[in-house]
Chains A and B, each alone.
Chain A
Amino acid sequence: METNQLISGIRHRLVRSGEPTLTDFNKITTLDSLRKHLQVAIELEHSTIPPYLFALYSIRENTNEVAARIIKGVVMEEMLHMILACNILNAVDGRPDISHPGFIPEYPTYLPHSNQSFEVNLQKFSRPAIETFLKIEKPSGKGAPPEADRYASIGQFYEAILDGMERLQAKGNIFTGKASRQITPEQFYGGGGGVVVVHDLASAHEAIAEIVGQGEGIDGTIEDSDHLLFGEEVEYAHYFRFNEIHEERYYRPTDTPKSGPTGAKLPVAWDQVHPVKENIKMKDFKKGTEEWGMMYQFNKSYCDMLRALHDTVNGDKEKLREAVIMMYDLKYQALGLMNIPIGNGLHAAPSFEYVK
Protein backbone atom coordinates (compact mmCIF):
# COMPACT_ATOMS: atom_id res chain seq x y z
CA MET A 1 0.00 0.00 0.00
CA GLU A 2 1.28 3.46 -0.87
CA THR A 3 1.82 5.73 2.09
CA ASN A 4 0.25 9.11 2.02
CA GLN A 5 3.14 11.50 1.85
CA LEU A 6 1.39 14.25 3.74
CA ILE A 7 0.49 11.99 6.62
CA SER A 8 3.94 10.45 6.77
CA GLY A 9 5.31 13.96 6.97
CA ILE A 10 7.45 13.85 3.88
CA ARG A 11 7.64 17.23 2.29
CA HIS A 12 8.89 17.47 -1.21
CA ARG A 13 9.90 20.75 -2.69
CA LEU A 14 7.00 21.90 -4.80
CA VAL A 15 9.15 22.84 -7.72
CA ARG A 16 12.44 21.34 -8.74
CA SER A 17 14.87 23.62 -10.51
CA GLY A 18 18.32 23.86 -11.96
CA GLU A 19 18.38 20.26 -13.10
CA PRO A 20 21.34 19.36 -15.30
CA THR A 21 19.07 18.02 -18.05
CA LEU A 22 18.27 21.54 -19.22
CA THR A 23 20.11 22.09 -22.49
CA ASP A 24 21.58 25.44 -23.45
CA PHE A 25 19.15 25.56 -26.32
CA ASN A 26 16.06 25.97 -24.19
CA LYS A 27 17.57 27.64 -21.17
CA ILE A 28 16.32 31.10 -20.36
CA THR A 29 19.52 33.14 -20.25
CA THR A 30 18.50 36.77 -20.76
CA LEU A 31 16.10 39.07 -18.96
CA ASP A 32 14.37 39.75 -22.25
CA SER A 33 13.82 36.03 -22.80
CA LEU A 34 12.56 35.66 -19.23
CA ARG A 35 10.01 38.41 -19.76
CA LYS A 36 8.88 36.84 -23.02
CA HIS A 37 8.41 33.51 -21.31
CA LEU A 38 6.42 35.13 -18.52
CA GLN A 39 4.21 36.75 -21.14
CA VAL A 40 3.69 33.26 -22.59
CA ALA A 41 2.89 32.05 -19.07
CA ILE A 42 0.13 34.67 -18.82
CA GLU A 43 -1.23 33.60 -22.20
CA LEU A 44 -0.93 29.96 -21.24
CA GLU A 45 -2.93 30.46 -18.05
CA HIS A 46 -5.54 32.45 -19.93
CA SER A 47 -5.81 29.92 -22.77
CA THR A 48 -7.34 27.38 -20.39
CA ILE A 49 -10.06 29.71 -19.16
CA PRO A 50 -12.37 29.86 -22.23
CA PRO A 51 -12.55 26.05 -22.61
CA TYR A 52 -13.26 25.60 -18.90
CA LEU A 53 -15.92 28.32 -18.92
CA PHE A 54 -17.45 26.94 -22.11
CA ALA A 55 -17.88 23.50 -20.55
CA LEU A 56 -19.04 24.95 -17.22
CA TYR A 57 -21.76 27.12 -18.75
CA SER A 58 -22.97 24.30 -20.99
CA ILE A 59 -24.17 22.40 -17.91
CA ARG A 60 -27.92 22.81 -17.47
CA GLU A 61 -28.89 24.82 -14.43
CA ASN A 62 -29.50 22.82 -11.25
CA THR A 63 -27.84 19.70 -12.64
CA ASN A 64 -24.35 18.25 -12.24
CA GLU A 65 -23.80 20.40 -9.19
CA VAL A 66 -20.63 18.67 -8.04
CA ALA A 67 -19.02 18.66 -11.48
CA ALA A 68 -19.96 22.31 -12.00
CA ARG A 69 -18.48 23.23 -8.64
CA ILE A 70 -15.24 21.43 -9.50
CA ILE A 71 -14.86 23.16 -12.87
CA LYS A 72 -15.78 26.52 -11.37
CA GLY A 73 -13.18 26.10 -8.64
CA VAL A 74 -10.52 25.25 -11.18
CA VAL A 75 -11.34 28.11 -13.51
CA MET A 76 -11.19 30.59 -10.63
CA GLU A 77 -7.74 29.29 -9.80
CA GLU A 78 -6.66 29.69 -13.43
CA MET A 79 -7.69 33.33 -13.17
CA LEU A 80 -5.54 33.60 -10.06
CA HIS A 81 -2.64 31.97 -11.92
CA MET A 82 -2.93 34.52 -14.69
CA ILE A 83 -2.71 37.34 -12.16
CA LEU A 84 0.22 35.62 -10.40
CA ALA A 85 2.07 35.39 -13.73
CA CYS A 86 1.38 39.12 -14.23
CA ASN A 87 2.79 39.84 -10.77
CA ILE A 88 5.97 37.91 -11.59
CA LEU A 89 6.38 39.71 -14.91
CA ASN A 90 5.78 43.08 -13.25
CA ALA A 91 8.30 42.17 -10.55
CA VAL A 92 11.03 41.78 -13.18
CA ASP A 93 9.95 45.13 -14.66
CA GLY A 94 8.14 43.63 -17.62
CA ARG A 95 4.89 44.87 -19.17
CA PRO A 96 2.08 42.32 -19.28
CA ASP A 97 0.15 42.57 -22.53
CA ILE A 98 -3.26 41.00 -22.22
CA SER A 99 -5.17 43.04 -24.75
CA HIS A 100 -3.32 42.40 -28.01
CA PRO A 101 -5.25 40.76 -30.89
CA GLY A 102 -3.45 37.41 -30.56
CA PHE A 103 -4.02 37.13 -26.81
CA ILE A 104 -7.05 34.87 -27.11
CA PRO A 105 -6.12 31.68 -28.98
CA GLU A 106 -8.21 30.63 -31.91
CA TYR A 107 -9.89 27.41 -30.80
CA PRO A 108 -9.15 24.60 -31.45
CA THR A 109 -5.63 25.41 -30.33
CA TYR A 110 -2.50 23.89 -28.90
CA LEU A 111 -1.41 25.31 -25.57
CA PRO A 112 1.02 28.21 -26.21
CA HIS A 113 4.65 26.98 -26.56
CA SER A 114 3.65 23.39 -25.76
CA ASN A 115 4.93 20.28 -27.51
CA GLN A 116 1.63 20.26 -29.44
CA SER A 117 0.67 16.78 -28.35
CA PHE A 118 -3.03 17.67 -28.08
CA GLU A 119 -5.52 20.32 -29.14
CA VAL A 120 -7.89 22.20 -26.87
CA ASN A 121 -11.44 22.75 -28.10
CA LEU A 122 -14.32 24.87 -26.95
CA GLN A 123 -16.67 21.99 -26.25
CA LYS A 124 -19.61 21.21 -24.04
CA PHE A 125 -19.32 19.35 -20.76
CA SER A 126 -18.63 15.77 -21.86
CA ARG A 127 -16.16 12.96 -21.36
CA PRO A 128 -13.94 14.14 -24.25
CA ALA A 129 -13.90 17.63 -22.73
CA ILE A 130 -12.85 16.30 -19.32
CA GLU A 131 -10.20 14.12 -21.00
CA THR A 132 -8.71 17.25 -22.58
CA PHE A 133 -8.80 19.02 -19.22
CA LEU A 134 -6.91 16.11 -17.68
CA LYS A 135 -4.24 16.48 -20.37
CA ILE A 136 -3.96 20.21 -19.67
CA GLU A 137 -3.44 19.65 -15.96
CA LYS A 138 -1.37 16.49 -16.20
CA PRO A 139 1.51 16.42 -13.71
CA SER A 140 5.02 16.28 -15.17
CA GLY A 141 5.97 13.20 -13.23
CA LYS A 142 9.03 12.96 -11.08
CA GLY A 143 12.26 13.99 -12.69
CA ALA A 144 10.72 15.48 -15.84
CA PRO A 145 13.17 18.12 -17.05
CA PRO A 146 12.29 21.81 -17.19
CA GLU A 147 11.29 22.84 -20.71
CA ALA A 148 11.08 26.45 -21.82
CA ASP A 149 9.71 25.47 -25.20
CA ARG A 150 7.80 22.45 -26.42
CA TYR A 151 7.03 21.43 -22.85
CA ALA A 152 4.92 18.37 -22.16
CA SER A 153 3.45 19.72 -18.93
CA ILE A 154 2.79 23.18 -17.56
CA GLY A 155 5.00 22.37 -14.56
CA GLN A 156 8.02 21.85 -16.82
CA PHE A 157 7.46 25.23 -18.39
CA TYR A 158 7.40 26.98 -15.02
CA GLU A 159 10.48 25.13 -13.87
CA ALA A 160 12.34 26.52 -16.85
CA ILE A 161 11.17 30.01 -15.86
CA LEU A 162 12.29 29.50 -12.28
CA ASP A 163 15.60 28.10 -13.45
CA GLY A 164 16.11 31.19 -15.63
CA MET A 165 15.20 33.54 -12.80
CA GLU A 166 17.69 31.90 -10.46
CA ARG A 167 20.49 32.07 -13.00
CA LEU A 168 19.80 35.70 -13.89
CA GLN A 169 19.37 36.79 -10.29
CA ALA A 170 22.78 35.32 -9.47
CA LYS A 171 24.29 37.83 -11.90
CA GLY A 172 22.46 40.87 -10.52
CA ASN A 173 19.08 41.88 -9.13
CA ILE A 174 16.30 41.34 -11.67
CA PHE A 175 13.44 42.27 -9.32
CA THR A 176 13.43 45.95 -10.18
CA GLY A 177 9.74 46.36 -11.03
CA LYS A 178 7.65 48.95 -9.21
CA ALA A 179 5.85 47.56 -6.18
CA SER A 180 2.83 49.68 -7.09
CA ARG A 181 2.23 47.49 -10.14
CA GLN A 182 1.62 44.36 -8.03
CA ILE A 183 -1.91 43.06 -7.56
CA THR A 184 -2.38 42.54 -3.84
CA PRO A 185 -4.50 40.07 -1.85
CA GLU A 186 -6.86 42.85 -0.67
CA GLN A 187 -7.85 43.49 -4.26
CA PHE A 188 -8.38 39.90 -5.20
CA TYR A 189 -11.49 38.86 -3.32
CA GLY A 190 -13.41 35.67 -3.78
CA GLY A 191 -10.83 34.16 -6.11
CA GLY A 192 -9.26 30.75 -5.72
CA GLY A 193 -6.35 30.73 -3.33
CA GLY A 194 -4.10 33.62 -2.50
CA VAL A 195 -2.40 36.35 -4.50
CA VAL A 196 1.34 36.47 -3.86
CA VAL A 197 3.03 39.85 -4.09
CA VAL A 198 6.31 39.20 -5.91
CA HIS A 199 9.42 41.22 -5.08
CA ASP A 200 12.27 38.72 -4.89
CA LEU A 201 13.26 35.20 -5.76
CA ALA A 202 11.58 33.69 -2.71
CA SER A 203 8.22 35.29 -3.46
CA ALA A 204 8.55 34.35 -7.14
CA HIS A 205 9.13 30.77 -5.99
CA GLU A 206 6.04 30.99 -3.84
CA ALA A 207 3.92 32.33 -6.70
CA ILE A 208 5.06 29.57 -9.04
CA ALA A 209 4.56 26.95 -6.34
CA GLU A 210 0.98 28.18 -6.04
CA ILE A 211 0.43 27.91 -9.80
CA VAL A 212 2.00 24.52 -10.28
CA GLY A 213 0.82 23.08 -6.97
CA GLN A 214 -2.82 23.94 -7.62
CA GLY A 215 -2.67 22.49 -11.10
CA GLU A 216 -0.67 19.33 -10.78
CA GLY A 217 -0.48 18.67 -7.11
CA ILE A 218 2.54 18.24 -4.92
CA ASP A 219 4.93 15.53 -6.07
CA GLY A 220 3.35 12.18 -5.64
CA THR A 221 0.20 13.29 -3.81
CA ILE A 222 -3.20 14.34 -5.01
CA GLU A 223 -3.28 17.47 -2.86
CA ASP A 224 -2.70 20.98 -4.03
CA SER A 225 -0.30 23.43 -2.43
CA ASP A 226 -2.75 25.78 -0.72
CA HIS A 227 -2.80 24.04 2.63
CA LEU A 228 0.99 24.29 2.80
CA LEU A 229 1.19 27.85 1.54
CA PHE A 230 -1.94 29.37 3.02
CA GLY A 231 -3.08 26.98 5.70
CA GLU A 232 -6.26 26.18 3.78
CA GLU A 233 -8.19 22.97 4.09
CA VAL A 234 -6.72 20.20 1.99
CA GLU A 235 -7.96 20.51 -1.54
CA TYR A 236 -7.07 18.25 -4.43
CA ALA A 237 -5.09 19.58 -7.38
CA HIS A 238 -6.88 20.30 -10.66
CA TYR A 239 -5.82 17.10 -12.33
CA PHE A 240 -7.31 15.00 -9.56
CA ARG A 241 -10.46 17.06 -9.25
CA PHE A 242 -11.11 16.57 -12.98
CA ASN A 243 -10.31 12.91 -12.59
CA GLU A 244 -13.07 12.62 -10.01
CA ILE A 245 -15.54 13.76 -12.65
CA HIS A 246 -14.01 11.46 -15.24
CA GLU A 247 -14.13 8.43 -12.97
CA GLU A 248 -17.48 9.53 -11.46
CA ARG A 249 -15.98 8.80 -8.06
CA TYR A 250 -14.50 10.87 -5.23
CA TYR A 251 -10.96 10.53 -3.97
CA ARG A 252 -10.42 9.61 -0.36
CA PRO A 253 -7.65 11.35 1.63
CA THR A 254 -5.57 8.18 1.59
CA ASP A 255 -5.79 7.75 -2.20
CA THR A 256 -2.72 8.26 -4.33
CA PRO A 257 -2.30 9.15 -8.01
CA LYS A 258 -1.68 5.46 -8.63
CA SER A 259 -4.69 4.15 -6.75
CA GLY A 260 -7.11 6.52 -8.45
CA PRO A 261 -10.29 7.60 -6.69
CA THR A 262 -11.73 4.92 -4.42
CA GLY A 263 -14.31 6.96 -2.50
CA ALA A 264 -18.05 7.38 -2.89
CA LYS A 265 -19.74 7.62 -6.26
CA LEU A 266 -19.85 11.11 -7.74
CA PRO A 267 -23.04 11.47 -9.77
CA VAL A 268 -22.53 12.86 -13.27
CA ALA A 269 -25.42 13.38 -15.70
CA TRP A 270 -23.58 13.67 -19.02
CA ASP A 271 -26.83 14.34 -20.87
CA GLN A 272 -27.86 17.35 -18.77
CA VAL A 273 -26.00 19.72 -21.06
CA HIS A 274 -27.00 22.35 -23.60
CA PRO A 275 -26.38 20.99 -27.12
CA VAL A 276 -23.96 23.79 -27.98
CA LYS A 277 -21.89 23.97 -31.15
CA GLU A 278 -18.25 23.08 -30.64
CA ASN A 279 -15.63 25.72 -31.56
CA ILE A 280 -18.38 28.04 -32.72
CA LYS A 281 -17.36 31.26 -34.51
CA MET A 282 -19.03 34.57 -35.32
CA LYS A 283 -18.63 33.74 -39.00
CA ASP A 284 -21.06 30.84 -38.56
CA PHE A 285 -23.75 33.54 -38.62
CA LYS A 286 -24.69 36.10 -41.21
CA LYS A 287 -23.42 39.49 -40.17
CA GLY A 288 -26.29 41.70 -39.05
CA THR A 289 -28.53 38.89 -37.82
CA GLU A 290 -29.66 38.97 -34.19
CA GLU A 291 -27.63 35.85 -33.50
CA TRP A 292 -24.48 37.42 -34.95
CA GLY A 293 -25.17 40.51 -32.88
CA MET A 294 -25.34 38.55 -29.68
CA MET A 295 -22.16 36.61 -30.51
CA TYR A 296 -20.44 39.90 -31.26
CA GLN A 297 -21.71 41.48 -28.05
CA PHE A 298 -20.25 38.66 -25.98
CA ASN A 299 -16.87 38.97 -27.69
CA LYS A 300 -16.94 42.73 -27.34
CA SER A 301 -17.64 42.38 -23.63
CA TYR A 302 -14.93 39.74 -23.27
CA CYS A 303 -12.33 41.91 -25.01
CA ASP A 304 -13.42 44.99 -23.04
CA MET A 305 -12.94 42.93 -19.89
CA LEU A 306 -9.43 41.92 -21.04
CA ARG A 307 -8.66 45.57 -21.77
CA ALA A 308 -9.80 46.51 -18.25
CA LEU A 309 -7.59 43.73 -16.85
CA HIS A 310 -4.73 44.95 -19.02
CA ASP A 311 -5.00 48.38 -17.41
CA THR A 312 -5.26 46.72 -14.00
CA VAL A 313 -1.93 44.91 -14.35
CA ASN A 314 -0.30 47.96 -15.92
CA GLY A 315 -0.60 50.32 -13.01
CA ASP A 316 -4.31 51.26 -13.02
CA LYS A 317 -5.33 48.89 -10.26
CA GLU A 318 -8.75 50.44 -9.72
CA LYS A 319 -9.81 48.90 -13.03
CA LEU A 320 -9.98 45.45 -11.45
CA ARG A 321 -13.37 46.16 -9.93
CA GLU A 322 -14.73 47.10 -13.33
CA ALA A 323 -13.22 43.97 -14.87
CA VAL A 324 -14.86 41.78 -12.24
CA ILE A 325 -18.26 43.34 -12.85
CA MET A 326 -17.79 42.64 -16.55
CA MET A 327 -17.00 39.00 -15.74
CA TYR A 328 -20.36 38.57 -14.03
CA ASP A 329 -22.08 40.12 -17.01
CA LEU A 330 -20.17 37.81 -19.39
CA LYS A 331 -21.49 34.80 -17.53
CA TYR A 332 -25.10 35.84 -18.06
CA GLN A 333 -24.42 36.63 -21.71
CA ALA A 334 -22.81 33.20 -22.22
CA LEU A 335 -25.72 31.43 -20.53
CA GLY A 336 -28.11 33.38 -22.75
CA LEU A 337 -26.29 32.34 -25.93
CA MET A 338 -26.52 28.71 -24.91
CA ASN A 339 -30.33 28.98 -24.85
CA ILE A 340 -30.53 30.00 -28.52
CA PRO A 341 -31.25 27.24 -31.05
CA ILE A 342 -29.32 27.72 -34.30
CA GLY A 343 -30.59 24.76 -36.32
CA ASN A 344 -29.55 21.11 -36.68
CA GLY A 345 -30.44 20.62 -33.04
CA LEU A 346 -27.52 22.80 -31.95
CA HIS A 347 -27.42 25.89 -29.77
CA ALA A 348 -25.24 29.00 -29.91
CA ALA A 349 -22.39 29.55 -27.46
CA PRO A 350 -19.70 32.12 -26.70
CA SER A 351 -16.88 31.99 -29.26
CA PHE A 352 -14.19 33.97 -27.39
CA GLU A 353 -12.88 35.87 -30.41
CA TYR A 354 -10.93 39.08 -30.52
CA VAL A 355 -12.93 42.16 -31.53
CA LYS A 356 -11.94 45.80 -31.24
Chain B
Amino acid sequence: MEKTTAGLDNFIAISVPLTGYSRVALLATGMATDYYHAVRRIIGDDRMDDFLAVTADILQHTHDKAPALDREIRQQLLASLQYGPVTRNIIQLWYWGAWLPLPDAWIAKYGKGVKGNENHFISPAAYQQGLIWQAMGSHPEGSKQPGFGSWSIAPLS
Protein backbone atom coordinates (compact mmCIF):
# COMPACT_ATOMS: atom_id res chain seq x y z
CA MET B 1 0.00 0.00 0.00
CA GLU B 2 2.74 2.44 0.97
CA LYS B 3 4.48 1.89 -2.32
CA THR B 4 1.28 2.62 -4.25
CA THR B 5 0.73 5.90 -2.43
CA ALA B 6 4.32 6.99 -2.98
CA GLY B 7 4.02 6.05 -6.65
CA LEU B 8 0.82 8.06 -7.00
CA ASP B 9 2.42 11.05 -5.28
CA ASN B 10 5.37 10.87 -7.69
CA PHE B 11 3.01 10.57 -10.62
CA ILE B 12 1.11 13.69 -9.57
CA ALA B 13 4.32 15.57 -8.79
CA ILE B 14 5.74 15.09 -12.30
CA SER B 15 2.31 15.71 -13.84
CA VAL B 16 2.40 19.28 -12.49
CA PRO B 17 5.28 20.48 -14.70
CA LEU B 18 4.16 18.21 -17.55
CA THR B 19 0.69 19.76 -17.71
CA GLY B 20 1.32 23.25 -16.38
CA TYR B 21 -1.53 22.83 -13.90
CA SER B 22 -1.16 22.96 -10.10
CA ARG B 23 -1.27 19.85 -7.95
CA VAL B 24 -4.62 20.90 -6.52
CA ALA B 25 -6.04 21.56 -9.99
CA LEU B 26 -5.00 18.06 -11.05
CA LEU B 27 -6.50 16.49 -7.92
CA ALA B 28 -9.69 18.47 -8.51
CA THR B 29 -10.28 16.56 -11.74
CA GLY B 30 -10.74 13.47 -9.60
CA MET B 31 -8.78 11.51 -12.23
CA ALA B 32 -5.28 11.22 -10.71
CA THR B 33 -5.72 7.72 -9.29
CA ASP B 34 -7.42 6.41 -12.42
CA TYR B 35 -4.71 7.76 -14.73
CA TYR B 36 -1.96 6.43 -12.48
CA HIS B 37 -3.46 2.94 -12.47
CA ALA B 38 -4.18 3.09 -16.21
CA VAL B 39 -0.55 3.83 -17.07
CA ARG B 40 0.63 1.15 -14.67
CA ARG B 41 -1.83 -1.36 -16.09
CA ILE B 42 -0.81 -0.70 -19.70
CA ILE B 43 2.97 -0.40 -19.51
CA GLY B 44 3.42 -2.77 -16.57
CA ASP B 45 4.86 -2.40 -13.07
CA ASP B 46 8.52 -2.54 -14.07
CA ARG B 47 8.32 0.19 -16.73
CA MET B 48 6.15 2.33 -14.47
CA ASP B 49 8.55 2.04 -11.54
CA ASP B 50 11.49 2.90 -13.83
CA PHE B 51 9.67 5.92 -15.15
CA LEU B 52 8.68 7.17 -11.69
CA ALA B 53 12.22 6.66 -10.39
CA VAL B 54 13.59 8.85 -13.19
CA THR B 55 10.97 11.54 -12.65
CA ALA B 56 11.49 11.54 -8.88
CA ASP B 57 15.20 12.01 -9.48
CA ILE B 58 14.59 14.91 -11.86
CA LEU B 59 12.26 16.65 -9.40
CA GLN B 60 14.72 16.16 -6.58
CA HIS B 61 17.90 17.39 -8.19
CA THR B 62 16.26 20.36 -9.91
CA HIS B 63 14.47 21.21 -6.63
CA ASP B 64 11.28 21.23 -8.68
CA LYS B 65 12.27 24.61 -10.12
CA ALA B 66 12.38 26.00 -13.66
CA PRO B 67 14.47 26.49 -15.75
CA ALA B 68 16.50 23.46 -14.63
CA LEU B 69 13.34 21.40 -14.31
CA ASP B 70 12.17 22.43 -17.74
CA ARG B 71 15.53 21.53 -19.28
CA GLU B 72 15.70 18.15 -17.54
CA ILE B 73 12.17 17.23 -18.59
CA ARG B 74 13.03 18.02 -22.19
CA GLN B 75 16.35 16.20 -22.16
CA GLN B 76 15.67 13.23 -19.94
CA LEU B 77 12.02 12.59 -20.62
CA LEU B 78 10.73 14.08 -23.85
CA ALA B 79 13.91 13.48 -25.86
CA SER B 80 14.37 9.96 -24.50
CA LEU B 81 13.48 7.04 -26.76
CA GLN B 82 12.43 5.07 -23.71
CA TYR B 83 10.54 7.66 -21.67
CA GLY B 84 9.45 10.14 -24.35
CA PRO B 85 6.38 8.28 -25.66
CA VAL B 86 5.18 7.46 -22.12
CA THR B 87 5.65 11.08 -21.04
CA ARG B 88 3.71 12.36 -24.01
CA ASN B 89 0.95 9.85 -23.35
CA ILE B 90 0.64 11.03 -19.74
CA ILE B 91 0.27 14.61 -20.96
CA GLN B 92 -2.37 13.40 -23.42
CA LEU B 93 -4.18 11.58 -20.63
CA TRP B 94 -4.48 14.70 -18.50
CA TYR B 95 -5.54 16.93 -21.36
CA TRP B 96 -7.73 14.62 -23.32
CA GLY B 97 -8.58 11.68 -21.06
CA ALA B 98 -7.58 9.14 -23.71
CA TRP B 99 -4.65 6.79 -24.10
CA LEU B 100 -2.92 6.96 -27.48
CA PRO B 101 -1.17 3.83 -28.75
CA LEU B 102 2.56 3.86 -28.05
CA PRO B 103 4.57 3.83 -31.31
CA ASP B 104 5.56 0.52 -32.92
CA ALA B 105 9.26 1.31 -32.55
CA TRP B 106 8.81 1.76 -28.82
CA ILE B 107 6.76 -1.42 -28.54
CA ALA B 108 9.44 -3.37 -30.43
CA LYS B 109 12.16 -2.22 -28.08
CA TYR B 110 10.47 -1.71 -24.69
CA GLY B 111 6.99 -3.11 -25.06
CA LYS B 112 7.34 -6.59 -23.64
CA GLY B 113 4.20 -7.36 -21.63
CA VAL B 114 2.37 -4.18 -22.65
CA LYS B 115 -1.42 -4.73 -22.56
CA GLY B 116 -4.30 -2.55 -23.66
CA ASN B 117 -2.19 -0.23 -25.80
CA GLU B 118 -5.05 0.69 -28.09
CA ASN B 119 -6.63 4.13 -28.39
CA HIS B 120 -9.27 4.41 -25.65
CA PHE B 121 -10.80 6.80 -23.15
CA ILE B 122 -9.90 5.77 -19.63
CA SER B 123 -13.52 6.30 -18.53
CA PRO B 124 -16.50 8.51 -19.41
CA ALA B 125 -15.38 10.84 -16.59
CA ALA B 126 -11.93 11.13 -18.18
CA TYR B 127 -13.45 12.72 -21.27
CA GLN B 128 -15.34 15.22 -19.11
CA GLN B 129 -12.37 16.03 -16.91
CA GLY B 130 -9.85 16.68 -19.69
CA LEU B 131 -7.75 19.79 -19.04
CA ILE B 132 -8.13 20.73 -22.67
CA TRP B 133 -11.56 22.20 -21.97
CA GLN B 134 -10.29 24.46 -19.21
CA ALA B 135 -7.25 25.39 -21.28
CA MET B 136 -9.38 26.56 -24.18
CA GLY B 137 -12.04 28.16 -21.99
CA SER B 138 -14.68 25.78 -23.24
CA HIS B 139 -16.52 22.71 -22.03
CA PRO B 140 -16.71 19.08 -23.13
CA GLU B 141 -19.51 18.78 -25.67
CA GLY B 142 -22.51 17.03 -24.22
CA SER B 143 -21.32 17.53 -20.66
CA LYS B 144 -20.56 20.21 -18.05
CA GLN B 145 -23.01 22.57 -19.69
CA PRO B 146 -22.11 26.22 -19.19
CA GLY B 147 -25.66 27.63 -19.37
CA PHE B 148 -27.85 29.09 -22.06
CA GLY B 149 -26.32 32.03 -23.89
CA SER B 150 -22.92 31.57 -22.27
CA TRP B 151 -21.41 31.86 -25.74
CA SER B 152 -22.53 35.46 -25.91
CA ILE B 153 -20.38 36.72 -23.05
CA ALA B 154 -16.63 36.73 -22.45
CA PRO B 155 -15.20 33.80 -20.44
CA LEU B 156 -15.54 34.36 -16.69
CA SER B 157 -11.96 33.44 -15.93
User: Is B29 in contact with A339, judged by CB distance below 8 angstroms?
Assistant: yes
CA distance A325 to B153 in the complex (A): 10
By beta carbon, the residue of chain A nearest B31 is A339
Contact present for B27 and A293 (CB under 8 Å): no
CB neighbours (8 Å) of B24 from chain A are 290-291, 293-294, 340
Chain A proximity of B12: nearest CB distance (Å): 11
A337 contacts B28, C-beta separation under 8 Å = yes
Residues of B104-157 contacting chain A, CB below 8 A: 125, 144-150, 152-153, 156-157
Q: How far is the CB of B155 from chain A (nearest CB, A)?
A: 10
The reply to whether the CB of B40 lies closer than 8 angstroms to some CB of chain A is: no
Least CB separation from A328: chain B residue? B147
Query: B101 at the A/B interface (Cβ < 8 Å)?
Result: no
B contact residues around A293 at 8 Å (CB): 24
B22 on interface, CB distance cutoff 8 Å: yes
Interface of B is mostly: loop
Contacts of B145 in A (CB 8 A): 328
Contact A325 B150 (CB under 8 A): yes
B145 to chain A: closest residue by CB:
A328
B133 smallest CB distance to A (angstroms): 10
Interface residues on A, range: 20 to 34
Contact among B22, B153, B156 for A290, CB-based, below 8 A:
B22
Assess whether A321 is interfacial by the CB under 8 Å rule: yes
Q: Kindly list chain A residues whose C-beta atoms are within 8 Å of the C-beta of B152.
A: 321
The closest CB in chain B to the CB of A341 belongs to: B27
Q: Return the contact of A325 from the options B22, B28, B144, B147 (Cβ within 8 A).
A: B147
Whether A324 is near chain B, meaning CB under 8 Å from some CB there, is yes
Besides A324-B148, A329-B146, A340-B24, 14 other A-B contacts (C-beta < 8 A): A61-B125, A190-B148, A290-B22, A290-B23, A290-B24, A294-B24, A321-B153, A322-B153, A325-B150, A325-B156, A328-B144, A336-B30, A339-B27, A339-B28
In the complex, the 6 A-B pairs of residues with the closest C-beta atoms, listed nearest first: A336-B28, A290-B24, A339-B30, A325-B147, A325-B150, A328-B147
